[in-house]
Chain A
Amino acid sequence: MSKTITQDLSFLHLIGGASLPVQLVMLLLLLASLVSWWFIFRKLFTLRQEIKQTDEFESVFWRGSDLNALYQRAASARHVAGSMERIFEAGFREFTKYQSGVDIGPVMDSTRGAMRAVYQREMDRLESHLSFLATVGSVSPYVGLFGTVWGIMNAFRELSNVGQATIAHVAPGIAEALIATAMGLFAAIPAVIAYNRYASDTAQLATRYESFIEEVSNVLQRRVAKPRDMANFS
């Protein structure tokens, strides 16, 4: 008796011995965990790159380099540029479409609008998949719990068929059911941690972009005050 139980308690045996719904739950959780880890790593790379590019562009921009040259660089390297560079590019292009002599109010409005649009799109890109992490983090414990409850229900139902109930009759069933909870937690914990981390990272980036938009529009507005410079732009 004791020997069979100890043999049954190996990890793979437990998974193999679980009932079909519990196995399905485990499979679901495994998939959720795999995908969420995939997103975790993708987001990790993306955000790390984004922060690096933003740092670089900000330092270049505030070093007082020529806006025109910056624009040229941003436009040519659009596919590898960071979000901040793209925001700047969109705003500057919109700004240069208006030639001198036009009222400054609408120009600045549309410039800011163009930057806002790109900003929204970039934020959308940065925040993509974060909702999936949040979902996995909040739902997979419940899914695992469902598997556990189901497994324990079965374990006790089988117990009712046995005349003399001992702990040895329920123990394997409960153990295999509890694996579902363990898997749910294994999927949820990293997802929640990653979600919180990435959400705060994106929020920080968002603040930086927003203040950058304001600053760029101020710089451009100052440019309008000196219309002679604008002649160079086209």
Chain B
Amino acid sequence: MVRLPGNKSEPGKLRAAFFALLVHVVFLALLVFGLNWKNEAPEALSVDLWADLPSHPIKPAAPVAKTTSQPKPVKPQPQPQPQQKTQPQPQPVIKAAPPPVRKPEIALKDKTEKPHPEKEVKKPEPVKKEAPKEAPTQKTVEKPVPKEAIKKPEPIKKETPKIEPAKKVEQKDDAQQRAEAHKQAQQQEQQMAAAQARAMGEIEKYKAMIQAKIRSRIIMPPDLPGNPAAEFTVTLLPGGDVLTVILRKSSGYPVFDDAVERAIYLAKPLPLPPDPGLFSAFRNLNLAVYYRE
């Protein structure tokens, strides 16, 4: 009866397809380029890595550099000029990535000026010039990049000069390097010692804090004669939780022993240094608690 209405052509099929594709392309582009998947993570990681370290190594390093070098305040600023003339070797070390235009210049100077500066400057150098030369390199390496660990830049300093001058001036540089290496070893030792002392200080500090916290929790039994001491071995968990408390040496008064033991459990979590590397010193803690201070 009724004729079929002609199939109505649907509007914008192609346009719709185009829009659909556009939506996906935009979304994908947003995902790939909009979010910095790659860049975010390394930043966070590098912060994690260096958060604790710089406080130990850099402070001891600074005074060393200061004492050895007098012309230091002058040298670092006009760096490019004095170094190009007098010290052709250390330059590539200081500037790890100089603009590529500079390199040929240095190479040229190496060839042309080598004989003169080597004889003029280097002869009196080995002992005296050592320090000033050493100082600016340290300055440039350590100051602007305080996050870099001490251990990393140092091997580079040792090795890179070795390779480059070795071809041309071997004997002088040998002496120089030995002196340098010696100096750096000394420095390193000093820094290690300083770091160790610092760690020891930290451990002592936290031990005192633990003592104080436990002491504040003790309910002292009244009227004990003398100054009895109870010694305990406390096993700690990372985070400061108390795992076990073992009475190592009784004070002779069970009342006092019990009070101290209770106090140790009450005092948890015990304060621990934030550096997890120091925890090993606290795992089995020997505590001696005196009745009187």
Residues of A within 8 A of B (CB): 2-3, 5-7, 9-12, 30, 33-35, 37-42, 44-46, 49, 78-81, 86, 89-90, 93-94, 110, 114, 117-118, 121, 125, 186
Q: Is B116 among interface residues, defined by CB-CB distance under 8 A?
A: no
B41 touches A9 (CB 8 A): yes
B21 touches A34 (CB 8 A): yes
A45 touches B8 (CB 8 A): no
Q: Is B15 among interface residues, defined by CB-CB distance under 8 A?
A: yes
B23 touches A37 (CB 8 A): yes
For the complex, count residues of B whose C-beta is within 8 A of A.
28
Given A10-B38, A46-B10, A46-B11, are A40 and B5 also a contact pair (CB < 8 Å)? no
Q: Complex: how many Å from CA A159 to CA B269?
A: 34
Q: What is the minimal beta-carbon distance from A70 to any residue of chain B, in angstroms?
A: 16
Partner of A45, one of B6, B16, B41: B16
Q: What is the minimal beta-carbon distance from A112 to any residue of chain B, in angstroms?
A: 12
The CB with the most chain B CB atoms within 10 A, among A11, A39, A49, A94, is that of: A11
Partner of B9, one of A12, A30, A79: A79
Given A37-B23, A79-B6, A94-B2, are A42 and B16 also a contact pair (CB < 8 Å)? yes
Q: Which 5 A-B pairs have the closest CB atoms?
A: A41-B16, A37-B20, A6-B41, A42-B16, A38-B20
A6 touches B38 (CB 8 A): yes
Given A9-B37, A10-B38, are A45 and B2 also a contact pair (CB < 8 Å)? no
A186 touches B27 (CB 8 A): yes
Q: Is the interface of A mostly helix, strand, loop or mixed?
A: helix
Q: What is the minimal beta-carbon distance from B274 to any residue of chain A, in angstroms?
A: 21
Smallest CB gap from A37: residue in B: B20
Residues 1 to 40 of chain B near chain A (Cβ within 8 Å): 1-2, 4-6, 8-13, 15-17, 19-21, 23-24, 27, 31-32, 35, 37-38
Contacts of B8 in A (CB 8 A): 79-81, 125
Contacts of B35 in A (CB 8 A): 11
Partner of B13, one of A6, A42, A89: A42
A94 touches B1 (CB 8 A): yes
Q: What is the minimal beta-carbon distance from B12 to any residue of chain A, in angstroms?
A: 4
Contacts of B21 in A (CB 8 A): 34
Contacts of B27 in A (CB 8 A): 186
Smallest CB gap from A90: residue in B: B2
Smallest CB gap from B35: residue in A: A11
How many A-B residue contacts, CB cutoff 8 Å? 77
Contacts of B15 in A (CB 8 A): 41, 45
Q: Is B42 among interface residues, defined by CB-CB distance under 8 A?
A: yes
Q: 26 A-B pairs, CB-CB below 8 angstroms?
A: A7-B38, A9-B37, A10-B38, A11-B32, A11-B37, A37-B23, A39-B16, A40-B16, A41-B12, A41-B16, A41-B17, A41-B20, A42-B10, A44-B16, A45-B10, A45-B11, A45-B15, A46-B11, A78-B5, A89-B5, A94-B2, A114-B1, A114-B2, A118-B2, A118-B5, A186-B27
Contacts of A44 in B (CB 8 A): 16
Contacts of A79 in B (CB 8 A): 6, 8-9
B19 touches A37 (CB 8 A): yes
Q: Complex: how many Å from CA A104 to CA B8?
A: 33
Q: Complex: how many Å from CA A90 to CA B5?
A: 9
Contacts of B145 in A (CB 8 A): none
